[in-house]
Amino acid sequence: MLNPHAPLPRHVAIIMDGNGRWAKRRGLPRIEGHRKGADSVRDVVRASRELGLRALTLYAFSSQNWDRPMEEVRALMELLRDYLVEERTEILENEIRLETIGDRTRLPEFVRGPLEDLIRDSAENDKMTLCLALSYGGRESLAAAARRLAEAVVAGELLPSDIDVRNFGQELSTRMLPELDLVIRTSGEQRLSNFLLWEAAYAELYFTDTLWPDFSRATLYQAIESFQGRERRFGLTSEQVRLRRL
Ligand code: IPE
Ligand code: IPE
Ligand code: MG
């Protein structure tokens, strides 16, 4: 049961893993796992919106996933396009803003078209931000930020000694999202796989053995329940944290 008196995470990010294993266990091709996984995405977006989360980031495709077999990459891109086309109305009706992080230029045109339309048409929505991590890598994103700051230094707009946590964070594509509170990873793996490396600095981590296609509203609630039961200290002592809450 969620605790109505404890705060909800503002921003939840999910590493949606285990589609391939879900299919393999059933003797099905991997793509069937991805197809079933798309249904979990629909459920979780709906549940997050109803709960009142401010932002939900979903790791849908990593920079490294481009190296998977060509047919699997193609199938994932087609599923992504189908998702964008089929969910467009629901996203707009629920006043959800769609955003992405990652290298959008690498996506095929048949994905970029519907994706960019929906980003544009949902830009004024403010009930929740749904951020899709597509062709995303945390290290790639940090390197890009460092590159932009270096360019600003060379252009004489910034001194190296001016670079700090605040302006570095402002160079990241996640700057438009609230602070990351909770990272969930499915399928039993306990690693970040190049996801939100900077942003997860003080996020709570939640690992579940549930494979992504079996993930449901109930699993999301379990993760949030676990989050609500934790004390986030941000380097302070427990006593300091409790005093601040009074
Ligand atoms: C997650 O499921 C989906 C993507 C990474 C695109 P996987 O395809 O990684 O499933 P497993 O890990 O092989 O079971
Ligand atoms: C992470 O899953 C990427 C996504 C969920 C999109 P992977 O299946 O690619 O991660 P590894 O290879 O197990 O670390
Ligand atoms: Mg995997």
pLDDT in tens, 20-52: 999 999 999 999 999 999 999 999 999 999 999
Q: What is the pLDDT of residue 245?
A: 84
Interval between CA 63 and ligand 2 midpoint (Å): 10
Candidate of 17, 78, 207 to mutate for ligand 1, largest count of ligand atoms within 8 Å of Cβ: 17
Active site residue 65: yes
Question: Contact, 76 vs 32, CB < 8 A?
Answer: no
Say what the pTM is.
0.98
Tally of CA atoms within 13 A in the half-sphere of 65 that contains its CB: 26
Strand bridging mode 11-15 / 204-207: unpaired
Q: Which two tokens stand for residue 98?
A: 């769609």
Is residue 215 within 6 Å of ligand 2 at its C-beta?
A: no
Q: What is the pLDDT of residue 43?
A: 97
Among 3, 39, 43, 65, which one carries the catalytic annotation?
A: 65
The answer regarding whether domain 11-139+174-245 maps to CATH 3.90.650.10 reads no
Model pLDDT for residues 62-96, shown as the tens digit of each residue:
999 999 999 999 999 999 999 999 999 999 999 99
Report the mean per-residue pLDDT for the chain.
98
Active site residue 125: no
Q: What is the pLDDT of residue 101?
A: 98
- From CA 205, how far away is CA 12, in angstroms rounded? 10
Contacts of 60 (CB under 8 A, 6+ apart): 16, 41, 80, 132, 133, 134
- From CA 58, how far away is CA 47, in angstroms rounded? 14
Q: What is the pLDDT of residue 61?
A: 98
Q: Give the closest residue (by CA) to ligand 2 atom 1.
A: 193
CA of 34, closest atom in ligand 1: 3
pLDDT for 176 beyond 90: yes
Is residue 16 within 6 Å of ligand 2 at its C-beta?
A: yes
Residue 160: phi, psi to the nearest 5? -50, -35
Interval between CA 144 and ligand 1 midpoint (Å): 26
Q: Which long-range contacts (CB under 8 A, 24 or more apart) does 115-121 make?
A: 115/80, 115/84, 118/84, 118/88, 118/91, 118/92, 121/92
- From CA 211, how far away is CA 208, in angstroms rounded? 8
Interval between CA 95 and ligand 2 midpoint (Å): 30
Question: Contact, 19 vs 34, CB < 8 A?
Answer: yes
* Average pLDDT of the segment spanning 214-238: 97
Is residue 14 within 6 Å of ligand 2 at its C-beta?
A: no
When pLDDT is cut at 50, 70 and 90, the band that residue 57 belongs to is very high
When pLDDT is cut at 50, 70 and 90, the band that residue 200 belongs to is very high
When pLDDT is cut at 50, 70 and 90, the band that residue 1 belongs to is confident
Q: Which two tokens stand for residue 186?
A: 């499915």
pLDDT for 246 beyond 90: no
- From CA 243, how far away is CA 180, in angstroms rounded? 24
- From CA 111, how far away is CA 107, in angstroms rounded? 6
Question: Contact, 187 vs 5, CB < 8 A?
Answer: no
